[in-house]
Structure formats: C-alpha cells, structure tokens
C-alpha cells in the first residue's frame, strides 16, 4: 500500500509567514487523513500537491486554538469547492469532548450551510489527563435541532483494559487514540495497517518448475 505523510504546519501558538500551525496529512489509497487543523491549514493545502476535497477523516489532538482554529474555514472551503451536488461519504471528525459544539456554533453563527455531511465523534477524557483546575465539564449547547448536515456521532470512552480509545477497525486499518498529559485533555493517535496476505502462489511456481530470486536494496545510512 502506498502511504505518505505531508507536514503542512509544525509551528506552535500561531502561524508565521514561513511556518504553518499544527497540521499533518496522511495520504493512502487516494484518501487524505488530516491530523490537527491549525489556522492557515487550507492555505498550506493550496501550496501542496494535496486536494482538500480528498480529506475523508480529521483527527484533532486537543482544543488549543493552534490545533483546531482552522477547522471551520477548511470545512467551508471544501463545501465551496464541492459544488451544489455532492455524493461523497460524510467527513468523519474525531476529537475531545466539546469539538462537536464548537463546530455547530461556528456554523450556526456564520449562517453556513455545508453541502456535504459530516459526523463528529468525541473522546471523553479522564481526570488525570490535565491539571485538575483545567478539567472542564462541557455542558451541551441548547439546540433547537442538529445542523442539517451533521450526522449522529459516537461518544467514545476509554477502554480500561486496552488503555486506549478504539476509533475504528476496518479491513485495512486499526486506528486508536491514547491519552496524553497536557494543560488541557489531549490525545495521540495511532494508525496500524493490518497484515495482508501476499499474492504470490508459491505452490504454483513449484508446479511450473520456475526459479525466481529476490533482490533487496538497502539505501546507505547517513551519519
């Protein structure tokens, strides 16, 4: 499987003319997964070879502004570039509790109507992930109803036996979140590709009496 990683931003606190705020894209099998979405992420995407419309999953590590203030603008840009008729699957968004209401409030206050559906899955932190005075209980915003394009997401609790949060497990990947200690509840993410059986039929080669050799190349190391 072809996979590559693009660092759109590695700066802290705020973007600069030469360095974007936190944002990393994992690209595999034609899909793009975005990890964090700091301010200016969509501008960095335009400078790269990546296409915002290819983003299918977004993972937010924590709710400090330099890690997610670019998210509403990115969603709006994807919507504008998508046209009026969209048949794509909903964008899956994973992040700490409070992220769903943040997205809803920004869309509501700006009178934004996205043309695609999205779903927010929230991770419930534990009390030992940050200083006690920083741990907040996020009360639900009083809504008349859910936004038209928001689908029902999951509330994901810690699996105490695995000490992790299972985000999804499909035919190709297992993706989990792990607790991190920071000034506010934070999470790290792991993406594990499942083993896939090879396509070489060794028995058929033996039956045909063919002889093959394998060549391995190891690039020189740089000291």
Active-site residue list: 66
Residues 108-138 as b or e (16 or more Cβ within 10 Å = b): eeeeeebebebbbbbbebeeebbeeeeeeee
Cβ pair 101, 152 in contact under 8 A? no
Cβ pair 119, 155 in contact under 8 A? no
Phi, psi of 90 (to 5 degrees): -60, 145
Distance CA 178, CA 98 (A): 18
Burial class (CB in 10 A: 0-12, 13-18, 19+), 159: exposed
Distance CA 104, CA 123 (A): 17
Cβ pair 122, 96 in contact under 8 A? yes
């Amino acid at each position: 499987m072809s996979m590559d990683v693009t660092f759109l931003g590695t700066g802290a606190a705020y973007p600069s003319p030469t360095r974007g705020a936190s944002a990393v894209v994992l690209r595999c099998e034609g899909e793009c997964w975005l990890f964090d979405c700091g301010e200016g992420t969509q501008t960095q995407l335009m400078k790269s070879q990546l296409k915002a419309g290819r983003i299918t999953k977004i993972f937010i590590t924590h709710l400090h502004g330099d890690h997610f203030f670019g998210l509403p603008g990115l969603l709006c840009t994807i919507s504008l570039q998508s046209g009026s008729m969209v048949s794509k699957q909903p964008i899956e968004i994973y992040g700490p509790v409070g992220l769903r209401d943040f997205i809803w409030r920004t869309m509501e206050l700006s009178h934004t109507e996205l043309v695609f559906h999205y779903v927010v899955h929230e991770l419930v932190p534990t009390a030992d992930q940050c200083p006690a005075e920083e741990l907040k209980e996020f009360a639900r915003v009083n809504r008349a109803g859910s936004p038209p394009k928001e689908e029902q997401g999951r509330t994901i609790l810690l699996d105490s036996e695995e000490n992790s949060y299972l985000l999804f497990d499909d035919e190709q990947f297992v993706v989990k979140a792990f607790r991190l200690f920071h000034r506010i509840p934070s999470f790290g993410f792991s993406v594990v590709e499942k083993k896939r059986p090879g396509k070489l039929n060794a028995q058929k080669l033996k039956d045909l009496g063919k002889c093959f050799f394998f060549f391995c190349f190891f690039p020189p190391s740089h000291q």
